[in-house]
Amino acid sequence: MSGMEIERKFLVEGDDYKQLSHQNFRIKQGYICSGHGRTVRVRRRNQKAFLTIKGPSLDGGLSRYEFEKEITLDEADHLFALCEPGIIDKTRYLVEHEGHTFEVDEFYGDNEGLVMAEIELSSPDETFKKPHFIGTEVTGDRRYYNSHLRNNPYKLWKQEA
């Protein structure tokens, strides 16, 4: 898959999303390189693996170019050895709501306690209805980018507060 990715991110309130989810899976991801808004990441999702390249955001974090290719599990394991320090570990819950899919990520390890939801849109001005568990919007806030969370994990934010 390749093309423009348009998504909005939100913090999640409560854990009702777990009961509303129709599917969930564990994700492990690392970053081969990241900087200046560009990332090359390797991701393992259950028994599948992917290499993803993302370009910089053109509009404050709402959209960016994305190229993704499925790779073998063996290739992923080799690429994880090349990753920058800090692996992201999370469970993703898929929740259908009013014709859209919300991807809710519950983080583990150094990002324990952080739960975010993303919704992919077909255009920046597409309207959608938010489920009740959706909280504050964090689209474009770099602190919530997975590539940033590996360097500046959520547990450090809580210590600074």
31 as an active site residue: the answer is yes
Dist. CA 123–CA 23, nearest whole Å? 25
Task: Give how far Cα 96 sits from Cα of 11, 52, 114, Å.
Answer: 17, 25, 21
Catalytic residue of the set 31, 93, 144, 145: 31
CA-based nearest residue to 14, from 161, 134, 136, 158: 134
Active site residues: 31
